[in-house]
């Protein structure tokens, strides 16, 4: 389905906000950065939940360059969250941010969350970008920490998005979906599978939300140039339009 089929960002008369949300694993910008930025711009998001953002030499410069090419700004995250990053449009008013490092399991990659609370008009929403472990037991524990972090934000509505490294029938994904809405399951739109970008056959990336957030459509955009999607990174993007009630 075409990106134009999703509602555009807007503020409603009652103060609620329609917000476009994008989740994207960018593989540390090791691929075609210009193609990646074209994909992001075409989705016209207000919030972008990035996974595998640059974490090493001059990582802030690389993140800022991606944001500028995508016509967005860096909100928080990157190396300080072990990879997850948040970007936003100038439509967002930033209330606060916090980067969280999770306990390190020896021999495994360090994980973390990039978190923020932002406002769109009269709507206030938390945001958490995540990238869960490749190991099943650690991933399940991190899913619990993710739910704890959502509760700790102290806001009535929160969006969670990222690379869950697990399909929807897995225990960690199921644990999250018991408390959070799974955007694709609630309001499927576009394509389902997100990995790998060249021959997608599994859904391991997702946008989720607390009860009260209304999904207007969620899935992989199907009208973007295939060459850009293949060149940008090894995952496909997940795009959603949501309605967030006024505070």
Residue 135 confidence (pLDDT) above 70: yes
pLDDT in tens, 30-75: 999 999 999 999 999 999 999 999 999 899 999 999 999 999 999 9
Q: Which H or E run includes 42?
A: helix 33-43
pLDDT value at residue 1: 67
Q: What's the average model confidence in pLDDT over 107-136?
A: 96
- Beta strand 93-101 with 85-88 is unpaired
Please report, in angstroms and rounded to a whole number, the separation of the first and last CA atoms in the chain: 32
pLDDT value at residue 230: 97
pLDDT value at residue 2: 84
The sign of the dihedral angle between the CA atoms of 203, 209, 210, 211 is negative
Q: What's the average model confidence in pLDDT over 91-115?
A: 96
pLDDT value at residue 233: 98
The sign of the dihedral angle between the CA atoms of 163, 167, 170, 176 is positive
The rounded mean pLDDT for the chain is 97
Q: Give percent above pLDDT 90 in the chain.
A: 94
* pTM for this predicted structure: 0.97
Q: Give percent above pLDDT 70 in the chain.
A: 100
pLDDT value at residue 23: 98
Contact 209, 121 (CB under 8 A): no
Q: What's the average model confidence in pLDDT over 117-138?
A: 97
pLDDT value at residue 190: 97
| Rounded Cα gap, residues 54 and 63, in angstroms | 7
Scored b (16 or more CB within 10 A) or e, 194-231 reads bbebeebeebbbbbbbbeebbbbbbbbbeebeeebbbb
Contact 29, 62 (CB under 8 A): yes
């Amino acid at each position: 389905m075409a990106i134009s089929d999703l509602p555009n960002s807007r503020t409603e008369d009652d103060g609620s906000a329609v917000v476009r949300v994008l989740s994207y694993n960018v593989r540390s910008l090791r691929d075609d950065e210009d193609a990646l930025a074209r994909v992001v711009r075409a989705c016209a998001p207000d919030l972008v939940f990035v996974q595998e953002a640059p974490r090493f030499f001059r990582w802030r410069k690389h993140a800022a360059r991606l944001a500028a090419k995508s016509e967005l700004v860096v909100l928080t995250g990157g190396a300080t969250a072990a990879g997850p990053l948040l970007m936003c449009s100038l439509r967002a008013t930033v209330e606060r941010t916090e980067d969280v490092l999770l306990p390190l399991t020896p021999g495994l990659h360090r994980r973390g969350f990039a978190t923020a609370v932002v406002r769109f008009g009269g709507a206030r929403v938390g945001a958490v970008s995540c990238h869960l472990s490749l190991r099943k037991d650690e991933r399940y524990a991190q899913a619990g920490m993710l739910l704890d972090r959502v509760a700790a934000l102290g806001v009535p509505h929160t969006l969670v998005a990222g690379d869950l490294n697990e399909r929807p029938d897995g225990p960690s994904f199921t644990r999250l979906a018991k408390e959070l809405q799974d955007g694709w399951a609630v309001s499927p739109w576009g394509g389902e599978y997100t990995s790998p970008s060249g021959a997608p056959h599994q859904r391991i990336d997702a946008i989720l939300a607390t009860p009260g957030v209304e999904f207007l459509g969620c899935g992989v955009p199907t009208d973007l140039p295939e060459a850009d999607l293949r060149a940008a990174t090894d995952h496909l993007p997940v795009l959603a339009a949501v309605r967030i009630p006024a505070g």
